[in-house]
Amino acid sequence: MAEVLSQGASGFTCPRFGGAIWEHDGGGSTSFECRIGDRFSEAEMWIEHCATRNRAILTAARALAENAALARRIAASAERRGDAAVAARLEAEAQEEDRLYAQVRAMVDGLSEDDLDGTA
Ligand SMILES: [Zn+2]
């Protein structure tokens, strides 16, 4: 291991578990280490951080798709018991979820196969 010349808060979070991560300047090579000992070179940090970003985008897509489906399920219940106002409001919510999902879906589609390796 290279001698650590200086270290400090990096302003980033550990891509594995989300805690603070410190930057170690070893003179020519910077590395990152979190409180529980995850250690990354700059290149590893970049790769791990991209994977974290991809998971976040996929999680957002899933949450939006599920929210739209749930709103429609509850709207159908409301319809069955004759509550047209609630049914209409939930259908409007579902359409808003669909609109947001389409935006996130475009982001998912913009990720390359390489980006998605190991993240699904
Ligand atoms: Zn960590």
| Ligand 1: centre distance to CA 65 (Å) | 30
Instruction: List pLDDT tens digits, range 109-119.
Output: 988 776 666 54
C-alpha 72 – ligand 1 centre gap (Å):
39
pLDDT, tens digit, 9 for 90 and up, residues 28-72: 889 999 999 999 999 999 999 999 999 999 999 999 999 999 999
Interval between CA 67 and ligand 1 midpoint (Å): 31
Predicted TM-score of the model (pTM)? 0.77
* Choice between 73 and 8, residue whose per-residue pLDDT is larger: 73
In the predicted structure, residue 14 carries a pLDDT above the cut 50: yes
Residue of 71 and 8 predicted with greater confidence: 71
pLDDT of residue 75 exceeding 70, the answer is: yes
Whether the predicted pLDDT of 76 surpasses 60: yes
String of DSSP letters for the chain: -PPP-EEEEEEEE-TTT--EEEEEE-SS-EEEEETT--EEEHHHHHHHHHHHHHHHHHHHHHHHHHHHHHHHHHHHHHHHTT-HHHHHHHHHHHHHHHHHHHHHHHHHHHS-HHHHTTT-
Banded pLDDT at 27 (limits 50, 70, 90): confident
How far CA 3 is from CA of 13, 26, 33, 119, in Å, comes to 23, 5, 14, 34
Calculate how far, in angstroms, residue 22's C-alpha sits from the geometric centre of ligand 1. 10
The phi and psi torsions of 3 (rounded to 5 degrees) equal: -65, 135
User: How far away, in angstroms, is 60 Cα from ligand 1 center?
Assistant: 22
- CA 75 to centroid of ligand 1, rounded, Å: 42
User: What pLDDT score was predicted for residue 5?
Assistant: 65
Ligand 1 centre distance from Cα of residue 110 (Å): 28
